[in-house]
């Protein structure tokens, strides 16, 4: 059964290269489109940040490439009436954040329109009156994106739902935004394994959960980053069905 699943996963990545989809360059220094799927091939175009490109049919099986922790593929694409290959770890299914867009909620507003007013839910605990009232705010967007914010006594959390995003694309997006620099900085590689480190005033741990096939590690299923600096901050990226979720919480 596991071998069948592995075959299906490989078939998905293989068949994907035959489909036509629109993506956007998300490399701030520009995305190189090369003549062949290798880093030594001639650069045909330098695709500027935010420019649109289209994947096209490739008769060959996709070539894998590892870069900045991402396990990526060379995709055959069309841009500016030219055909070439790009590394798919630097594209997003929506236009990347514009200058001045620094949060996920602002990014959602950039790429879509709000589907009505925010929904506000209030909760109170009579038996724990000193803790006050907690609130949950939910905002849905017309493209299916959604953010939720919860505020309570000495704690808070944010949840973001991104349809059709991968875990890797969410990581890239957070890195571009710079919303959580203590968790993911603009130069951090995509986590590939568990890690622990001492930081100023505390510790930082990274947990990487992967699918396993026949005892071998497969695609990343979830990333969790925990900061302990007096307060405890937790950050997660994972998938649920066809959407990715980004979760942040902090409290004492």
- Range with lowest mean pLDDT among 11-15, 71-75, 112-116, 185-189: 11-15
Residues of the chain with pLDDT > 90: what percent? 77
Please tell me the predicted confidence (pLDDT) of residue 44: 98
Q: What are the tens digits of pLDDT across the range 44-78?
A: 999 999 999 999 988 888 899 999 999 999 999 99
Please tell me the predicted confidence (pLDDT) of residue 143: 97
Q: What is the mean pLDDT of the chain?
A: 90
What is the rounded distance in angstroms from the CA atom of residue 173 to the CA atom of residue 97?
Answer: 8
Q: What is the pTM of this model?
A: 0.88
The pLDDT-based confidence of 8 (bands split at 50, 70, 90) is very low
Contacts of 121-125 spanning 24+ positions with Cβ under 8 A: none
Please tell me the predicted confidence (pLDDT) of residue 126: 54
Q: Which domains does the chain have, with CATH numbers?
A: 2-92 (2.30.30.40), 104-251 (no CATH)
The pLDDT-based confidence of 122 (bands split at 50, 70, 90) is confident
Strand pairing partners for 72? Answer: 65
Q: Which two tokens stand for residue 222?
A: 């979830």
Residue 107 dihedral angles phi and psi, to the nearest 5°: -65, -40
Q: What are the tens digits of pLDDT across the range 185-218?
A: 999 999 999 999 999 889 999 999 998 887 787 8
Closest by alpha carbon to 234, among 165, 155, 175, 167? 155
């Amino acid at each position: 059964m596991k071998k069948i699943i592995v075959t299906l996963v490989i078939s998905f990545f293989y068949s994907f290269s035959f489909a036509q989809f629109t993506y956007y360059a998300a490399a701030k220094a520009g995305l190189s489109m090369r003549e062949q799927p290798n880093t030594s091939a001639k650069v045909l175009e330098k695709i500027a940040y935010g420019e649109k490109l289209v994947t096209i049919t490739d008769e060959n099986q996709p070539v894998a490439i590892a870069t900045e922790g991402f396990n990526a593929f060379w995709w055959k694409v069309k841009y500016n009436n030219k055909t070439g290959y790009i590394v798919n770890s630097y594209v997003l299914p929506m236009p990347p954040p514009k200058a001045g867009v620094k949060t996920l909620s602002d990014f959602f507003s950039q790429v879509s329109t709000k589907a009505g007013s925010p929904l506000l839910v209030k909760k109170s605990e009579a038996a724990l009156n000193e803790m006050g009232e907690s609130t949950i705010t939910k905002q849905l967007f017309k493209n299916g994106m959604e953010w939720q914010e919860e505020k309570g006594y000495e704690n808070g959390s944010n949840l973001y739902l991104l349809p059709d995003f991968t875990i890797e694309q969410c990581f890239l997006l957070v890195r571009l935004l710079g919303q959580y620099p203590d968790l993911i900085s603009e130069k951090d590689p995509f986590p590939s394994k568990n890690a622990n480190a001492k930081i100023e005033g505390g510790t930082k741990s990274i947990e990487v959960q992967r699918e396993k096939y026949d005892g071998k590690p497969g695609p990343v299923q979830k990333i969790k980053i925990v900061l302990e600096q007096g307060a405890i901050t937790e950050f997660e990226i994972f998938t649920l069905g066809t959407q990715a979720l980004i979760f942040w919480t902090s409290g004492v």
